[in-house]
Amino acid sequence: MPRITVTVDGIVYEEEVEPRLLLVHLLRDRLGKTGTPVGCDTGNCGACTVMLDGRSAKSCSVLAVQADGSDVVTIEGLARNGRLHPMQEAFHAEHALQCGYCTPGMIMAAVDLLKDDPDPSDEAIRRGLEGNLCRCTGYCNIVRAVRRGAQEMSGEGVRTS
């Protein structure tokens, strides 16, 4: 069995894995990182989105062996030094979640979206999150949250609050 080294939320793991093992199952079943859920089996829903070497990736569509040598950040590793990430705060403030099942992936995708477009229009947010499905919120508050998160991250929110 291939041996891989992968860093997840700041911890280095060395694991022997079957070549077919999906990254999301490595995270959930082997490493106990159950903060990242699974919503589909066709790469459509985005619930499993994590950061893989700094960019968002659907962890159900990546094999664990492909993540060898990579740095993975999940929703569990997004808060730093006991402080929530501004995007987590924004989702809470804007009531951008109900059941919360899509939320880990949605937050990771939103953080990634801002890397390319730090001040996205509502339309850009909607397009950018097309690969992350939510059945509860109707997306209005998610769009608001991403807008707020973007403001906070650009420092605007810090000035006005």
Partner 1 sequence: MTEQIDAGMVARRIAESDRLGSPDPGREIGRARRRKEDARLITGRTLWTDDIQLPGMLYVAFLRSPMAHARITRVDTSAARNQPGVAAVYTGRDFAAEQGSLPCAWPVTEDIVIPDHPPMAVEEVRYVGEAVACVVATDRYKAADALEAIEVDYEPLEPVLDMTEALAEGSPKVHEAGNRSFTWKFSGGDVEAAFRDAPVVIERTYVQQRLIPTAMEPRAVVATTDGTAFTLYSSTQIPHVLRVMLALTTGIPEHLLRVVAPDVGGGFGSKLQVTAEEVLCLLLTRRLGKPVKWTESRSEGNLTVHHGRDQLQRITLAAERDGRIRGMRADLLADMGAYLMLVTPGIPILGAFMYNGIYKMDAYDFTCTGVFTTKMPTDAYRGAGRPEATFAIERAVDELAHELGMDPVEVRRRNWITHQEFPYTTIAGLTYDSGNYEAATDRALALFGYDKLRAEQADRRDRRDPVQLGIGVSTYTEMCGLAPSRVLGSLSYGAGGWEHATVRLLPTGKVEVVTGTSPHGQGHETAWSQIAADAMGVPFEDVAVLHGDTTVAPKGMDTYGSRSLVIGGVAVLQACEKVKDRARKLAAHMLEASPDDIEFSGGTFSVRGTSAGKTIQELALAAFAAHDLPEGFEPRLDADVTFDPQNFSFPHGTHLCAVEVDTETGMTKIRSYVAVDDVGNVVNPLIVEGQVHGGIAQGIGQALFEEAVYDSEGNLLTTTMTDYLIPSAADLPEFVTDRTETPATSNALGVKGVGEAGTIAATPAVVNAVVDALRPYGVRDVRMPCSPERIWRAISESGGAAAGWAGPTEAEGGER
Q: Does 129 bind partner 1 (CB under 8 A)?
A: yes
User: Strand order in 11-16's β-sheet?
Assistant: 11-16, 3-8, 71-73, 49-52, 55-58
Angle, helix 140-153 to helix 103-116, in steps of 10 degrees: 50
Considering only the stretches 13-21, 51-59, 62-70, 151-159, report the one whose residues sit in contact with partner 1 under the rule CB under 8 A. Answer: 13-21
Distances in Å between the alpha carbon of 55 and those of 69, 109, 143? Answer: 15, 9, 20
**What gap in Å lies between CA 86 and CA 152, rounded to an integer?**
6
Q: Does 134 bind ligand FES (CB under 6 A)?
A: yes
Q: Closer to ligand FES at the Cβ: 139 or 157?
A: 139
Q: Does 95 bind partner 1 (CB under 8 A)?
A: yes
**What gap in Å lies between CA 41 and CA 62, rounded to an integer?**
12
Q: What would the two tokens of residue 42 be?
A: 């066709």
Convert residues 38-77 into a mask of x (bound to partner 1 by CB under 8 A) and - (unbound). Answer: xxxxx-xx-x--------------------------xxx-
Pick from 31, 93, 124, 136: which binds ligand FES (CB under 6 A)?
136
Enumerate binding residues for partner 1 (CB under 8 A).
18, 20-21, 25, 28-29, 32-42, 44-45, 47, 74-76, 78-79, 84, 88, 91-93, 95, 97-104, 107, 122, 125-127, 129-143
